[in-house]
Structure 1
């Protein structure tokens, strides 16, 4: 037996294993994530990944900053105070139109979960969208996905965004107060806020995208919703970090597919319940089908999003948007291979 050759072989194998491990190491272990309304079910997968320690399991130290709306979270990314955003897919299109490449790499929701409702207090005789002309519409934050949804609803009724006034009301108690006090005439928001308003018959729902069937009918195709997205430069520079983030999110999505309402309540912070546990659970059941089962982007989703945006932003039609660069399923495929 040639012990010298065996020894050399073992050294070479060890070197290969070390090189392989190094190649897979996380380039950036501390990651800051911006989110606009963390208490919303729209971002529930992010909360689950954080609360159950899935980010830590992937070797990440994640700091999540909560903002009043998705547009504010996007500003944090563009301004450099956040590495990643948990936010609406359509921002990837809008930013590319402005010359800034943003890539979504894991899908949290396959339906927007946004509901547009009219106040029964200030507009008790509402008949059509035309009645909203000159009225005040509450959105989480101007420019956010709730604003985009409101714009699309208005366009279907022949109104332009400039025909109304948009007011940022946040996504929790502030939104409830604004509608109940009469500060706004309509609201575009998400659960649990919407279910709370519905249960007390405070709004009349005009458009509802909490269910897949309603979403496909309303937008004319699959509409990707909440995602994790980052600049194209970040994804290219930190592929292993991006993969680790995706792994944690896909694991959270799979946990949500089998978790019961009582499991959810045990994991989310008490403040998310808005003082009503039963209502929170009802709201969860309303949106459960909207959560992505595996984090994958549907092939036709980006085209649906672009078509929707163009309906009230006609200038987009003149922009060259490369939809293939707005998202990638590369990391999701690997994550699903790891967490079956």
Structure 2
């Protein structure tokens, strides 16, 4: 009678032992987590400039996060410094002027603009009050000191072209790198430069205080065509072609985030846009900031696409004086791509 029970008891104990053993040694299931997005560092050639506003606005509107991107924005006072960071591999992208992609190709570097923010430069040549009577056009800059953000920057390219077009070679004036924003204003006030090229909101600040007057205005299409002979795509997001080949999904997400930002700029008022910007961008004079922003809205593209007549105009400007471009064959089709913005659905 006891033998069957004993056998049953042994069997039960064996099962319990097996369960306990499995419980002790089996690893608990670990929930699978999605891989964290790769960080994309973007250097902006002067992050408070209105020409580069889409960079910070996209961040403020949360469009990078909506795309699942981990984007870090950094700033350098001049586009040429941002370009150096890109080539060194310290950053993955640059928000700067499109013309850098042409000069870099001439140096054997393959870089492409994938989103065009502005179809005009948004740059303005401002003249100091003490020189206002003697400098009435770019033909009058002979013997003068002209301020640019940095030597080799887009402002230096454009300044040299405007002077050359007016008959003044680069040997007959001096370019002085003075940065942007307050440092540019200080250079004018201190008399270190007679005139210089800058953007909004610095332009409106100088006009309000009487610190300078406008000599050449490239904040709209008509003014740009009069100064440069055509549409001039400027502010853009450009990246090394090798990075784009390896990260097409990230590039597509960046394009979507920026195109949504450009569409926001064209469907909202300057007041609504300003409400999203950090307080340190706006400063103490919000009315001035909003006014300057209104003046800047026409510079932005609607869809991030490269204007068809833009690249030839930029190449013509650079070929006029830039030694690294003169006499070189430039394949403009390799300096930009609409591939990523074309895939963005309205």
Query: Smaller-chain TM-score range?
Result: 0.7 to 0.9
Q: Could you tell me how far 1:138 is from its partner in structure 2? A: 1.3
CA RMSD of aligned residues (A): 1.8
Determine if the alignment matches structure 1 residue 101 to structure 2 residue 119: no
Q: Which runs of 5+ in 1 are unaligned?
A: 1-24
- Max Rg structure: 2
Q: Could you tell me how far 1:26 is from its partner in structure 2? A: 9.8
Q: Could you tell me how far 1:315 is from its partner in structure 2? A: 5.7
Aligned to 1:258: 267
Helix, strand or coil at the partner of 1:121? helix
Aligned to 2:174: 165
Q: Could you tell me how far 1:126 is from its partner in structure 2? A: 2.4
List per-residue Cα deviations over 1:130-169 (Å, max 9, x = no partner).
4322322111222111111211111122222332222222
Aligned to 2:16: none
- What is the rounded CA distance, in whole Å, between the counterparts of 1:118 and 1:164 in structure 2? 15
Structure 1's 254 and 290: CA in aligned 2 closer, same or farther, altered over 3 A? same
1:126-275 alignment runs, 5 A limit: 126-275=135-284
Helix, strand or coil at the partner of 1:263? helix
What is the TM-score with the length of structure 2 in the denominator?
Answer: 0.86
Of the three residues 277, 282, 285, the one matched with 1:276 is 285
Helix, strand or coil at the partner of 1:321? coil
Q: Which runs of 5+ in 2 are unaligned?
A: 1-33
Determine if the alignment matches structure 1 residue 324 to structure 2 residue 340: no
- What is the rounded CA distance, in whole Å, between the counterparts of 2:86 and 2:194 in structure 1? 32
Determine if the alignment matches structure 1 residue 82 to structure 2 residue 87: no
The alignment of Structure 1 onto Structure 2 pairs a total of residues equal to 313
What is the TM-score with the length of structure 1 in the denominator?
Answer: 0.88
- What is the rounded CA distance, in whole Å, between the counterparts of 1:271 and 1:160 in structure 2? 40
- What is the rounded CA distance, in whole Å, between the counterparts of 1:239 and 1:307 in structure 2? 31
Moved more, 257-266 or 233-242: 257-266
